[in-house]
Amino acid sequence: MDVESILDERVDHFRLSLHIFYLQRFREAYETQCRRGPPSAIATFNYGTALIRSTKQDVAEGINLLEKLLREEPDDVNKRDYVYFLALANARLRNYDRALAYIDILLAAETHNRQASQLRDIIEKRMQKGEILFPRWSTTTNQCVQTDCLALL
């Protein structure tokens, strides 16, 4: 999986068509299970991860599904995946502080996780670019100021 292409929504035509196909299938499976009762963790996870790879409008719904799984699923084995995809989804929405919080939780449990380390590096680079390109509005001084995003953590 190319993390940066997911964060930037860069996909070729073939992958986009394939993604739309899978998103529709996962949505149908999830909604079918919801009509019968609580959906399975697998159906919820598949649909949630498909949503976070979709348009930014769908990402928030995917985050809600994955956070619900993280809270309610007793199986600790899958929580690693939930946390990783929550970090990825929050990074897509440019909620970098929240994305880093999820990644840090994952790296605390799995210090040698290369996928999580790679995502952390990408997030930190984007935060540094954001400091220069997107100054923050200070409510205390009522003016635009440069913010050290890392200091906010």
Where residue 87 sits, what CATH number does that domain have?
Answer: 1.25.40.10
In angstroms, the CA 11 to CA 9 distance is 6
Using pLDDT thresholds of 50, 70 and 90, give the confidence band for residue 144: very low
Q: At what angle do helices 41-52 and 13-36 cross, to 10 degrees?
A: 150
When pLDDT is cut at 50, 70 and 90, the band that residue 77 belongs to is: confident
Stretch 63-77: mean pLDDT, rounded? 92
Tens-place pLDDT, residues 90-126: 999 999 999 999 999 999 999 999 999 999 999 999 8
Which domain, by its residues, includes 22? 3-152
Could you give the number of structural domains in the chain?
1
Q: What is the mean pLDDT of the chain?
A: 82
- Please give the angle made by the CA atoms of 68, 74 and 76, to the nearest 5 degrees: 100
Q: Report the distance separating Cα 83 and Cα 105, nearest Å.
A: 8
